[in-house]
Structure formats: C-alpha cells, structure tokens
Amino acid sequence: MHFLKGHGTENDFVILPDPDGELDLTASFVARLCDRRAGLGADGVLRVVRAKQVPEVAGEPAEWFMDYRNADGGMAEMCGNGARVFARYLADAGLAQGDEFDIVTRGGVRRVRMEPDGEVSVEMGKPVVLGSSVTSVGGQEYEGLHISMGNPHLACSIGDPVTHLDLTHQPTFDPAVFPSGVNIELFNAVGTSRAVMRVHERGSGETRSCGTGAVATAVAAAALSGETTGTWTIEVPGGTLTVVLDEETSYLRGPAVIVASGELMLAE
Ligand SMILES: N[C@@H](CCC[C@H](N)C(=O)O)C(=O)O
C-alpha cells in the first residue's frame, strides 16, 4: 500500500491514496498506522478517494473526498489542517488543477486555495456558537464556548500562559452537551488579534495544532471583546495559523507540507 506523510503546523497525517475506493479502512488498522512506536505515527489518516466511489458523498459537486480518521480510528466531520495537507497532496500529485479547487469532507464541500507564498488556505464555513460549557484540566476548571466547526469544540480562555497545562490526560467535559466527545482548546488571548492555544483533540489526544480548533479559538477570543469578525494569529506548539472571521464564513491559512512517501508493510 502506497502512503505519504504530511503535516500542517505539525498536526501530522498519513495520506493513503485510494482513488477508486478499494481500501476497507478499519478503525483498528488506522489506530495501528497512527501508533507512534508500532506504526508510522500520526494524529490522523487522510484517505484520498473519488467522491463518486463513496455512497455517503457520491452526489457532492467535487471530485475528491477527504476521508478523515482520528488516531484512534474514529471518524470526524472535519479537519482543518487535514484539508490543507489533503489539498497540498492533490496539487503536488497533479490531481487538482488551478490555484483554487473544492474538496468534499463529511462536513460539506470546502474551497481550498494554494497561496502564492506556498501556504494553503481553506474556507471553513460559518462557526456556530452553541452556548457555554466547562472543562477541568489538571484539577482546574475552565469555562468556554461550545462551537461547532462541523465538529465539536469547547474553546476556553484561561487568561494566563498555556505552557504549564498538563494535557496528557483527557480533560473532563459534560457528556450531555458533547455526546460524541469534544475537541478542547485552552487559549490565552494577547491583545485583540493574537492568541496562544493548546488543544486536546477528540480521538487523538494532545496535538501540536488543530485547524478547526484554531478557528474556534479565534471565535472565542473575538467574543471576549464583543466581536464576531476580524483577523487572528493563532500560535500553536507546531507553528502559526491565520484565521479570518467575516460575517458569512471563516478562513484558515498556514503551511502544509508533504515530508515522505513510501510503501507500507503493515497489513490489515
Ligand atoms: N486536527 C484537526 C481536527 C481533527 C478532528 C478532531 N480530532 C475531531 O474528532 O473532531 C483539525 O485540524 O481541524
């Protein structure tokens, strides 16, 4: 099986090209692939398959479906950094033409753009603020905004640097609010256009970046000063992302690179 490895601000993915939909990607296989000692190691898997080969998205008006899986093998509706790495792969492989094209995700069709400076942007849709909720990290409780980016987020301003947080364990959350689990962002807003964020992802644990989480963080940081629009720099352990919030939608921009390719010896 051919694979590639890529990352967007060190949110890393195994890419499995499967244009004709021949792979039966089980949760246990994905988990073994993502294992950082016994497998290749990654925060998630991006299966690259033609949308017409996948019944759940066969009618969507774009050629390629990003079949995203978390490191534990679970599915997610959307992955912002994954979408940018997926687009980088399609462009490099000559499977998509032009600077802008659409891809299909479980969260809907997303427009991606290959920027002149080499970064990749993705239109992320309109964030939906659904209320507030609490989490407890290392015995400390934080309140944040419940935001849907297609996938669920709880974005909490902690009003302090995030460096000391221990995210090795699953932060608590209210299962009545988040029945399918949640991605939890802890951030420190610095002024009105920059925030420093760490994240504990559903199905992957602490990662060095999360694109949907960066947009949720920008929304929650903007809300601290009563704003719903603006441009935010979101600093994550793996680099820097730019988030633009406007009245209609949101955009995520940052680096996305392919670092390796090869043949997989792991079998199902
Ligand atoms: N790292 C991703 C988000 C991946 C999905 C998430 N763990 C979930 O289960 O919702 C991103 O860049 O957005």
Across the strands, what pairs with 132? Answer: 145
Tokens of 208: 């060095």
Q: What is the structure's pLDDT at 126? A: 98
* d(CA 76, ligand 1 centre) in Å: 7
Question: 37-64: per-residue pLDDT in tens?
Answer: 999 999 999 999 999 999 999 999 999 9
Pairwise CA distance, residues 41 & 186, whole Å: 25
Q: Which helix (H) or strand (E) holds 220?
A: helix 211-224
Per CATH, the number for 128-248 is: 3.10.310.10
Q: Which residues pair with 207 in a beta bridge?
A: 199
Q: Hey, what CATH class is 2-121+255-263 in?
A: alpha beta
Distance (Å) from CA 68 to ligand 1 centroid: 9
pLDDT value for 232: 98
Is 115 a known ligand-binding residue? no
What is the per-residue pLDDT for 267? 75
Question: Is it the case that residue 268 has pLDDT exceeding 90?
Answer: no
Task: Give pLDDT tens digits for 67-117.
Answer: 999 999 999 999 999 999 999 999 999 999 999 999 999 999 999 999 999
Please report, for the chain, how many H helices and E strands are present, in that order. 3, 17
Task: Provide mean pLDDT across the span 122-145.
Answer: 97
The whole-number pLDDT of residue 266 equals 82
| Ligand 1 atom with least separation from CA of 43 | 1
35 burial (CB, 10 Å; 0-12 / 13-18 / 19+) is middle
Tell me: the pLDDT tens digits for 144-155?
999 999 999 999
User: What residue owns the CA closest to ligand 1's atom 3?
Assistant: 79
Q: What burial letters (b/e) apply to 80-112, b meaning 16+ CB within 10 Å?
A: bbbbbbbbbbbbeeeebeeeebbbbbbbeebbb
Domain ranges of the chain: 2-121+255-263, 128-248
- Taking CA atoms, 140 is separated from 135, 164, 167, 182, 201, in Å, by 8, 12, 12, 18, 18
Euclidean distance between CA atoms 215 and 56, whole angstroms: 26
ipTM of the complex: 0.99
Q: How wide is the angle at C-alpha 211 spanned by C-alphas 121 and 206, nearest 5°?
A: 150
3-state DSSP assignment of residue 258: strand
3 state DSSP class of 74: coil
Residue 164: is it exposed, middle or buried by C-beta count within 10 angstroms (0-12/13-18/19+)? exposed
- Give the residue-averaged pLDDT of 120-140: 97
| Most ligand 1 atoms within 8 A of CB, residue of 70, 85, 170 to mutate | 70
Active-site residue set: 79, 210
Distance 266 CA to ligand 1 centre (A): 24
**Among candidate residues 264, 255, 268, 266, the one with its CA nearest the CA of residue 11:** 255
What digits encode the pLDDT tens for the residues 162-216? 999 999 999 999 999 999 999 999 999 999 999 999 999 999 999 999 999 999 9
Asked whether residue 211 is marked as a ligand-binding residue, the answer is yes
Q: Are 76 and 70 in contact (CB under 8 A)?
A: yes
Residue 194 in marked binding region: no
3-41 per-position pLDDT tens digit: 999 999 999 999 999 999 999 999 999 999 999 999 999
Tell me the C-alpha distance between 259 and 4, whole Å: 8
